[in-house]
Structure 1
Amino acid sequence: MNLVYYNQEDPRWRNVPYTIRGDKSQTIGTSACGPTSFAMAASSLLGRSILPTETAAYAVDHGYRTDNNGTAWGFFSDAAEYYSLTCRTGNFAAAKQALAGGALVVASMRSGHFTSGGHYILLVGAGDGWIDVYDPNKDNRKYGADGLVDQGVKDDGKVRAKDSVIQREAGQFWIITKPVTAEEADEVLQLSNYQWGVLESNVKQMLDNKTITDETWLTKIKERTLTASELAWLTFVVVRR
């Protein structure tokens, strides 16, 4: 997957209105961090260009642009369905595990290292106690100097934050994935006839010993609803045990 980054303050769209009350001060640049984060996720997962102008218009047209507070939470699941993506909410542990399986995660951040009010960001990877973040606010000045956010190249929008920052400051996570293709579904079906029982047993053991903590994995195995990427990640973890 080729990750796509968008800056909500890009000159191409920063002054495009993002408002439901005709307020010219409400633009994509000032207020559309949510649609911009989703546009990055959708473009990356689908392999085609879905611009913030398109996702912001969808939010307005479908009632998800709020009067003063940006974008309503319901936007992400609705937009994901529109673009034929899957979306589920979860806690930090679920989000981190999903990242390891190839998902992308939109996070709603509270006051802290990313915002003094509210802000959406896109989580694109995890490892070694850090979360890789695509921040639609490219020149964000809230990161601070305590070393908990590593800006890397200044003002490119791509930063790393300590797990503790995301876990403490995020209010919600939306885990976004690309649906299984017909070929992948065939592969999963073949595996299910041979190995579901073994996988379920191993996952139960991993839950017991806290190797993993998200019990929705067990539910998905029982219901045979794992995506191909989730199944690949679980199989990888089982093999490494």
Structure 2
Amino acid sequence: MSSSDFEPRPIDTHKPSPARIYHHMITGEVIFESDLPFIHRLYEEIPFYPLWAQHNRSFLGRAVRHMVDSGIRQFLDIGSGLPTGGNTHEVARSLASGTRVVYVDNDEEAINRARDLLRQQDVLETTAMVDADLREPSRILEHPDTKRLIDFSEPVGLLLISVLPWIPDAADPASLLAQFREAVVPGSQLAMTHVSLEDAGTEIKQQVAAGAAVFGDASTPVTLRSRHQFETFFTGWKLADPGITYATDWHPEEPVDITDYARPCNFAAIGTLP
């Protein structure tokens, strides 16, 4: 498949992108001043939103370490977004130097910045950014960089951290995930998180729902789902202990703050292909 078959979402300085907003929540960096009104509006609706993003980032690091400890040495990080500290290849290679990583994103800005970072770090021989979309699994799986770096006869670590909320039900995310499950061998692992309102209190539900509505003005709207819906995305995978839980509660490295308002709004789990 040639690179001309896919056109990434172009950079729009006037319309906020999930990648830029997520990046701001983790780092505090404002990439375009035009994003500030949206950011302020979002934070007014959900004051704890940056904390939620940080929970995701922390879970990503723990998931990568768990997979490396399980023997996995190659990763597909789909919907990786703008690069920040603690990127998958950095975490994995701090534990196993030969780890190979393929990042995937459909946002031109994320693609360009990731490639710049990988070039600066001189890791292009073992790391790549693929311009593709989760909704086109074949492009990801058949991309020359994926084929160059990922050996599908060996276990693969699949990472979809806060990606499915951006995939509407009409795109049939379960079917998309099934294509990746069918492409990998037993021993592969899948890590995902998903924003949800199911376990949130009344006030928090109102805040998160209002915040999700704000994303109607962004380049991609948000789909909220239940615990059961999230669990169905792991069909065919054996969930690791403790199963479907909160991102903060998945093998935490520090005591969990049960008063954390963001905690019950973010389901997480890791599954292994039997």
Asked whether the two chains share a fold, i.e. TM above 0.5, the reply is no
Name the TM-score, length of structure 2 as normaliser: 0.27
Q: Relative contact order (C-alpha < 8 Å, sep 6+): which is higher? A: 2
Name the TM-score, length of structure 1 as normaliser: 0.29
